[in-house]
């Protein structure tokens, strides 16, 4: 399947980090998603029911991330991927989880994972 649904630059404030001071504040994480999805049926019907509803995906991830409290972005990214694979039945995804400003002198740090329902 070559079709993709993208969500880029989804920013969410959450508790993330391993240091004591990080556990007391909310920081921004940024998600960039590329999800395999056959859009041909939706292209023909022009009906949201026939596609991957990117608004529903975004709302679900925002709710999850805002209420989470992970030490590592690796863990948060894996849990987000699991939601997409199991709740939304996305067959394959690439997820970039960024933590802007996490390292002094850098604009951003991130992890990039690819997962499929067969992983």
Distance CA 71, CA 92 (A): 25
pLDDT tens readout for residues 32-52: 999 999 999 999 999 999 999
Q: Catalytic: 59?
A: no
- Give the range of the structural domain holding residue 39, as residue numbers without chain letter: 4-116
- 61 near 80, Cβ under 8 Å? yes
CATH number at residue 89: 3.30.1130.10
Q: Which of 41, 59, 94, 99 is catalytic?
A: 99
- 43 near 24, Cβ under 8 Å? no
pTM: 0.93
pLDDT tens readout for residues 14-26: 999 999 999 999 9
Which stretches of the chain score pLDDT less than 70? 1, 118-119
> Considering its fold, how many domains does the chain have in total?
1
């Amino acid at each position: 399947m070559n079709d993709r649904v993208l969500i880029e630059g989804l920013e969410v404030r959450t508790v993330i980090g391993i240091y004591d001071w990080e556990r007391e504040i909310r920081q921004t994480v940024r998600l960039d998603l590329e999800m395999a999805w056959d859009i041909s049926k939706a292209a023909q019907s022009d009906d949201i029911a026939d596609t991957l509803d990117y608004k529903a995906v975004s709302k679900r991830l925002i709710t999850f991330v805002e209420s989470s409290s992970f030490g590592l972005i690796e863990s948060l990214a894996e849990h987000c991927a699991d939601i997409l694979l199991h709740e939304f039945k996305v067959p394959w995804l690439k997820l970039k989880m960024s933590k802007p400003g996490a390292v002094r002198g850098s604009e951003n740090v991130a992890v990039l994972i690819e997962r499929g329902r067969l992983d």
